[in-house]
């Protein structure tokens, strides 16, 4: 899975350099976007040497919202998205770097509907008070979806994504935890 994610990330980050040469030259523009999770389904795996692996699964129809800000270069959007969530004694802090690449550059071709692919990489900090866990790691995400442009500035997005992150040697122990799953998200954005 690690090789597939790395290849997907490299492909999405390399694609803008190929497509920008062919696209019309337009100015660099900035944008802001607010997104929420509609549904998520994740699996957490716990591994410790000498013990059987354990799994838990969680599904939810709501998620915390997140704001991302970034730059739009001929339709290719690069952004940063800080996130924070706290449930009971567990908190997760993350900073994601995102790339969104449209598959079609002509907004008029499909009446404002643009399919896209996306890739993200981020730093994640997981804290749990009861077991005194405070660990950080890197995570990766890939996804695809559809973006509708109301005009040259305002857009709405709907898509599906897959995230994965792995915490090794939690608190110096042989315990590791891997969290991965799919999610449906929507967002509203404004390009300046």
Whether residue 143 lies inside any domain: the answer is yes
Strand locations in 16-65 (E): 29-47, 54-60
CB atoms within 10 A of CB 180: 17
What is the mean predicted confidence (pLDDT) over 33-37? Answer: 94
Whether residue 161 lies inside any domain: the answer is yes
Which residues contact residue 4 at a Cβ distance below 8 angstroms, ignoring those fewer than 6 apart?
Answer: none
Phi, psi of 28 (to 5 degrees): -70, 135
CATH number of 43's domain: 2.40.128
Residue 65: per-residue pLDDT: 86
Residue 7: per-residue pLDDT: 43
Whether residue 57 lies inside any domain: the answer is yes
pLDDT in tens, 114-142: 999 999 999 999 898 887 889 999 999 99
Number of domains in the chain: 1
β-pairing, 176-191 vs 154-167, is antiparallel
Phi, psi of 13 (to 5 degrees): -75, -25
Task: Give the domain extent around 157.
Answer: 2-15+28-191
The DSSP output letter for 62 is -
pTM exceeds 0.75 for this model: yes
Whether residue 92 lies inside any domain: the answer is yes
Whether residue 162 lies inside any domain: the answer is yes
Share of the chain above pLDDT 70, in %: 85
The dihedral region occupied by 18, where left means phi > 0, alpha psi between -120 and 50, and beta the remainder, is: alpha
| Cβ atoms of residues 60 and 183 within 8 Å | no
- Quickly state the pLDDT bin for 22 (edges 50, 70, 90): very low
């Amino acid at each position: 899975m690690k090789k597939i994610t790395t290849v997907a990330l490299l492909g999405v980050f390399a694609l803008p350099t190929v497509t920008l040469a062919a696209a019309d030259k337009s100015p660099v523009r900035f944008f802001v976007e607010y997104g929420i999770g509609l549904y998520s389904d994740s699996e957490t795996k716990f591994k410790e040497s000498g013990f059987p692996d354990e799994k838990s699964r969680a599904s939810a129809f709501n998620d915390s919202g997140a704001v991302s800000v970034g730059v739009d270069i001929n339709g290719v959007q690069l952004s940063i998205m800080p996130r924070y969530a706290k449930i009971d004694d567990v908190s997760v802090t993350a900073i994601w770097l995102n790339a969104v690449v449209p598959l079609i550059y002509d907004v008029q071709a499909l009446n404002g509907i643009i399919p896209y692919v996306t890739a993200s990489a981020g730093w994640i900090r997981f804290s749990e008070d009861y077991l005194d866990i405070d660990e950080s790691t890197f995570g990766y995400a890939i996804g695809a979806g559809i973006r509708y442009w109301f005009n040259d500035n305002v857009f709405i997005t709907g898509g599906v994504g897959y995230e994965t992150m792995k915490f090794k040697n939690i608190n110096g122990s042989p315990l590791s935890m891997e969290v991965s799953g799919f999610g449906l998200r929507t967002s509203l954005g404004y390009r300046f």
